[in-house]
Amino acid sequence: MPEQYCDADRDWIQEQLLQLDPTTRVKIAAEYARVYQEEWDKEPVSFR
């Protein structure tokens, strides 16, 4: 699983990752976490 993800998406993400071979799964999980965090940080909110 990615290090960062929305809890509501956990089951769907896990389902998708299990369709991939292990090497690709690791790469995709890392990229997903990177993009998720990048977009999270862009949100213009004063609270979290």
- pLDDT (tens digit per residue) in 1-48: 888 888 999 999 999 999 999 999 999 999 999 999 999 999 998 776
pLDDT of residue 46: 79
pLDDT of residue 24: 98
Three-class secondary structure of residue 12 per DSSP: helix
pLDDT of residue 48: 62
pLDDT of residue 4: 87
pLDDT of residue 47: 74
CA 27 – CA 37 distance, rounded (Å): 16
In the block, tokens 């993009």 appear at 35
The full set of domain ranges for the chain reads 7-41
DSSP for 21-41, please give it. Answer: -HHHHHHHHHHHHHHHHHHHH
Q: Is 13 exposed, middle or buried (0-12, 13-18, 19+ CB in 10 A)?
A: middle
